[in-house]
Amino acid sequence: MLNYLWAAMIAIGIIYAAFTGNLEAITNAALDSAGEGISLCITTAGVMALWMGLMEIAQQAGLVAKLTRGISPVLDFLFPRIPKGHKAREYIATNIIANVLGLGWACTPAGLKAMEELARLEQERGNPEYLEGVCPAAEGGKRNAGRPGGTAQGGDRNAGNIWKPGGASGKTDGKRGKSPGAGAGGRTASREMCTFLILNISSLQLIPVNMIAYRSQYGSTRPAAIIAPSILATLVSTVAAVLYCKCKDHGKPMSRA
């Protein structure tokens, strides 16, 4: 959707410039913006290298592990269904710490790893949407085998078929209108995934490194003046996110262990 929006705005700008005789201004602005983009990339690359290096040093020195243990009560409150000692907790903690320090670049790899581990957790819980190579028909046959009038015959017939979404075998779930197997686009995000994503978007930031770098690049005399407003704004957004997640999760049954 964003690609369409950007393409539409560019097309409208060019068409408007053509009708108003400002195509030369559009060309100059495009060239100037390209140069500024390269300069900004170099500036932010230096800041990113500095803070990524500091994060690596902190990790090698054990500081990240200590901070992870320090925020363990927070993780217990936010993610009560993730078992203690699970790898997802470590990646979530690293992502939260990087976000709090304003290191958006450093938190992205940890966030991706956390999502992978949360998906693996759903596999461990037996969620059929996250099991690799599961044939929905076979699963349906197994579930019906113990019910009155139910048989496992259909499941036995399909037990040897590796389910592939949209494949030649045509093994799709017509009732749902979507395929629940892995990679089929029919997965449902778990509560832990939704909570983590909401917190990641609204995360508290003590040091907005990105914005400080941008303000410094564009000639701000006090690039760090944004720290206090940033802390206040992200604190409000984080509190709102936690309250929302807890309200949505209130009274719902526990996930499968």
Number of neighbouring beta carbons within 10 Å of residue 137? 19
Residue 170: per-residue pLDDT: 39
Closest to 87 (Cα-Cα) out of 133, 142, 124: 124
Please tell me the distance from the alpha carbon of residue 176 to that of residue 167, in angstroms, as a whole number: 17
DSSP reduced 3-state for 22: coil
Looking up tokens 């040093």 gives 57
> Is-contact 183 123, C-beta < 8 A?
no
DSSP state of 163: P
pLDDT in tens, 136-176: 444 444 444 444 444 444 444 343 333 333 333 334 444 44
Please tell me the distance from the alpha carbon of residue 54 to that of residue 48, in angstroms, as a whole number: 10
Please tell me the distance from the alpha carbon of residue 72 to that of residue 154, in angstroms, as a whole number: 47
Structure tokens at 121: 């957790």
> Is-contact 203 234, C-beta < 8 A?
yes
In the chain, the percentage of residues whose pLDDT exceeds 90 is 5
Please tell me the distance from the alpha carbon of residue 183 to that of residue 162, in angstroms, as a whole number: 13
Nearest-5° Cα angle at 252, 195 to 142: 100
Ordered alpha helix ranges (H), the chain:
2-20, 23-60, 63-70, 72-78, 87-100, 104-124, 136-144, 153-158, 191-201, 209-217, 227-249
At position 155, the amino acid (one-letter code) is G
Residue 135: per-residue pLDDT: 45
At position 23, the amino acid (one-letter code) is L
Half-sphere exposure of 146 (CA within 13 A, CB side): 3
207: pLDDT strictly greater than 60: yes
pLDDT in tens, 61-115: 887 778 778 888 888 888 988 888 888 888 888 888 888 877 766 677 788 888 9
